Amino acid sequence: MDLSRVVVTIDEAVLLFPPFKYQQVADLIAALGIRPVGKRQEPRRGRPRLTYSMEELERLHATLIPWLEVPGQQGKVTRGMPRPSSEVDFTIDDAVSILDPPMTRLQLAGLITTLNIQPLGKRHRRTRGRLALTYDAAELMRLHAAVVPWL
């Protein structure tokens, strides 16, 4: 069967790709700028639903399944949180500034939130305000490499 011609709504994608939840699929589509391929009128009244290429959503699912299956770290980030000194960590702004091909801050933050990637710690910013959350640099690089086809 030629999957390039099969189109699905977000509701159908959730049923086809079990670990995904509706909001995760919608957030990933928004963060990566995946464009709909059409619209489908539902039998009941209302607006038509956007449809997406099943082939593209299947590739996205296969790419991101490692982040969906790994449970997040337990607990919350607290001040003085112990961690190994050999780990390199980035804030979202640090990562955005070095990624190539570039990603926007909103795209990266959306992916981190959607995939439930837990922060390693906090870092002071140059300006006043909240501390910036830091994430494992290697994990952010792997995530970026996985989503490059959609950038």
The whole-model pTM stands at: 0.78
pLDDT of residue 73: 46
**pLDDT for 78 beyond 70:** no
CB proximity list for 81: less than 8 A, separation 6 or greater: 120, 121, 122
User: Is the separation of the CB atoms in 148 and 101 below 8 Å?
Assistant: yes
In the chain, pLDDT over 90 holds for what percent of residues? 52
* Per-residue pLDDT reduced to its tens digit, 15-60: 998 888 899 999 999 999 999 999 988 777 788 889 999 999 999 9
Three-state secondary-structure class, residue 49: strand
Average pLDDT on 89-115 reads: 92
User: Is the separation of the CB atoms in 10 and 22 below 8 Å?
Assistant: yes
Question: What proportions of the chain, in percent to the nearest 5, are helix, strand and coil?
Answer: 45, 15, 40
